Amino acid sequence: MDGFRVVKLNEVIRQVDVIITCTGNKNVVTRDQLDRMKNGCIVCNMGHSNTEIDVASLRTPELTWERVRSQVDHVIWPDGKRVVLLAEGRLLNLSCSTVPTFVLSITATTQALALIELYNAPEGRYKQDVYLLPKKMDEYVASLHLPTFDAHLTELSDEQAKYLGLNKNGPFKPNYYRY
């Protein structure tokens, strides 16, 4: 495990500062474990279902919920202990918008152009395999998103393109270069 200790949650529950679930299973973090966590422990779920943390068991009259900010709650025990629960135990990456819309736009544009290429390609050009997007297409997607940054590219002169050994219109990086 690359130098990391692999332990059972029950063995370290009173010592850990952060618990991130990512199993896809149900009740990976139970009420008993939540009761035994230390004050200030942060708990969140990165799995693929909303059932990994037993949040329903925390909705009882003896516990107080305090909204700290959007998607961040303190669950407060009668003795004053607080557990920080992110996104109410739901999938953190979906609930908390960890992917900016700008990145989603680039991804969707790239995928749409790749699908158009596949649809328009002559039969037999592509086998069932994984292909890198041509640099020209990658650069086109980037150019579509430059206005977001109020960015403007300087075009190469014929002399500059010749000096660099590039086509004036791109692609501007060799095929082996990975963006």
Q: Give the relative orientation of helices 101-120 and 135-145 as an angle to the nearest 10 degrees.
A: 140
What is the pTM (predicted TM-score) of this model? 0.58
Three-class DSSP category at 116: helix
Yes or no: say if 146 and 106 are a contact pair by the CB < 8 Å rule: no
d(CA 149, CA 39) in angstroms, rounded, equals 42
d(CA 89, CA 53) in angstroms, rounded, equals 6
Q: How many CA atoms lie within 13 Å of 143's alpha carbon, on the beta-carbon side?
A: 13
Residue with tokens 């557990």: 83
d(CA 11, CA 24) in angstroms, rounded, equals 21
Tens-of-pLDDT digits for all 179 residues of the chain? 578 888 899 999 999 999 999 988 999 999 999 999 999 999 999 987 889 999 999 999 999 999 999 999 999 999 999 999 999 999 887 777 667 788 889 999 999 999 999 999 999 999 999 988 888 888 899 999 999 888 888 888 999 999 988 888 888 877 777 76
